[in-house]
């Protein structure tokens, strides 16, 4: 873990729970794509930088989930680097309490205020094209989170953040976290037709061809949507829908999974209502979801 893997002349990734991209900008300076989950991840990244005599110029965060921004504060304090984050995710990076609050739908209790959902705040600036290194391309990847973006490096390596899960992860956990189902499907349709020397998803193996994995992720989303619609043959409240999905997929319920999967299921329900496949009724002071 935290092995530095070179994939092209100037592009590398650090093998970690969420892969960290590293790109050499010149003989002495590098930038990072994400920073890992916490201070310990940041410290391990710093050791890699020191061992190679590299100065960290900037961190370009793909989005604001804690496992991608958790090393920001340590690395920024140690190196003085800039931190750039796209769109709304910049606010979440500056004010990380927004993530567990958003997931829970209110002020999060202690069970949700831990490093896997609540990173340390960092002094982030908005990511725009003009702050990217020469030859970099920012690729919008909305859907998994608000304004998530990926990057194409000058030597044609594409870092895809969390827009793809591995087959193994999908088969094990089934319901991957999503914020906007419609945007996510559009992103995957775009991604599966991209071409690059190499693709580096944060939570799947690096690959030269991403088409099949993108389609596998699309198919899983469609499967879950169909299952939700089928459950709603009878009007059901959200909690019962969530319970039946956990039972159906053999998932273990705890506070973190309740927040992550629960938020995702609400996003599915919203999408299915907007596309005319589900409707709601209010009965005995309860919101019930039903097939159209």
Q: How far is Cα 68 from Cα 221, in angstroms, rounded to an integer?
A: 23
Range of the domain at 245: 230-291
37 and 156 belong to one structural domain? yes
pLDDT beyond 90 at 2: yes
Enumerate the β-bridge partners of residue 20: 14
Predicted confidence (pLDDT) per residue in 165-185, tens digit: 999 999 999 999 999 999 999
Q: Looking at 181, 203, 221, which one is the last position of a domain?
A: 221
Predicted confidence (pLDDT) per residue in 86-101, tens digit: 999 999 999 999 999 9
CA 80 to chain centre: 25
Strand ranges, E, within the chain: 4-6, 11-14, 20-24, 29-33, 55-60, 82-85, 124-126, 137-140, 149-152, 157-165, 198-203, 278-283, 286-291
- At 229 the pLDDT is 98
pTM (2 decimals)? Answer: 0.96
127: phi then psi, degrees, rounded to nearest 5: -85, 120
Q: In this structure, is the dihedral angle defined by the CA atoms of residues 204, 209, 212 and 217, taken in order, positive or negative? A: positive
Domain count for the chain, please give it. Answer: 2
129 and 240 belong to one structural domain? no
Q: How far is Cα 166 from Cα 138, in angstroms, rounded to an integer?
A: 23
Q: Looking at 180, 201, 221, which one is the last position of a domain?
A: 221
255 and 188 belong to one structural domain? no
Angle between the N-to-C axes of helices 255-274 and 238-249, in degrees from 0 to 180, rounded to the nearest 10: 110
Q: What is the mean pLDDT of the chain?
A: 97
236 and 262 belong to one structural domain? yes
pLDDT beyond 90 at 1: no
21: phi then psi, degrees, rounded to nearest 5: -80, 145
214 and 239 belong to one structural domain? no
Q: Looking at 192, 221, 250, which one is the last position of a domain?
A: 221
Q: Which residues contact 256 (CB under 8 A, 6 or more apart)?
A: 111, 112, 116, 117
Predicted confidence (pLDDT) per residue in 175-221, tens digit: 999 999 999 999 999 999 999 999 999 999 999 999 999 999 999 99
34 and 102 belong to one structural domain? yes
Q: How far is Cα 290 from Cα 281, in angstroms, rounded to an integer?
A: 8
């Amino acid at each position: 873990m935290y092995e530095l893997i070179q994939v092209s002349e100037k592009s590398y990734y650090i093998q970690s729970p969420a892969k960290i991209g590293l790109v050499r900008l010149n003989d002495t300076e590098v930038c990072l794509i994400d920073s890992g989950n916490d201070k310990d991840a940041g410290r391990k990244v710093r050791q890699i930088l020191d061992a190679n005599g590299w100065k960290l110029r900037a961190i370009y965060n793909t989005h604001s989930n804690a496992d991608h921004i958790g090393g920001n504060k340590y690395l920024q304090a140690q190196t003085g680097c800039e931190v750039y984050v796209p769109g709304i995710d910049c606010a979440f990076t500056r004010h990380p309490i927004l993530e567990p609050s958003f997931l829970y739908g209110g002020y999060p209790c202690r069970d949700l205020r831990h490093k896997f959902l609540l990173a340390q705040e960092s002094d982030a600036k908005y990511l725009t094209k003009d702050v990217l290194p020469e030859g970099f391309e920012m690729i919008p990847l909305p859907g998994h989170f608000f304004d998530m973006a990926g990057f194409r490096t000058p030597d044609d390596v594409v870092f895809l953040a969390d827009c793809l899960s591995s087959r193994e992860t999908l088969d094990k956990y089934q319901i991957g976290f999503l914020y906007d189902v419609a945007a996510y499907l559009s992103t995957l349709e775009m991604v599966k037709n991209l071409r690059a020397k190499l693709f580096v998803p944060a939570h799947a193996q690096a690959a030269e061809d991403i088409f099949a994995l993108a389609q596998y992720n699309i198919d899983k989303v469609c499967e879950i949507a169909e299952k939700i619609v089928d459950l709603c043959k009878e009007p059901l409240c959200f909690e019962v829908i969530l319970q039946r999905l956990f039972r159906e997929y053999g998932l273990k319920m705890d506070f973190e999974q309740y927040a992550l999967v629960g938020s995702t299921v609400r996003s599915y329900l919203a999408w299915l209502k907007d596309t005319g496949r589900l409707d709601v009724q209010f009965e005995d002071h309860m919101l019930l979801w039903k097939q159209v």
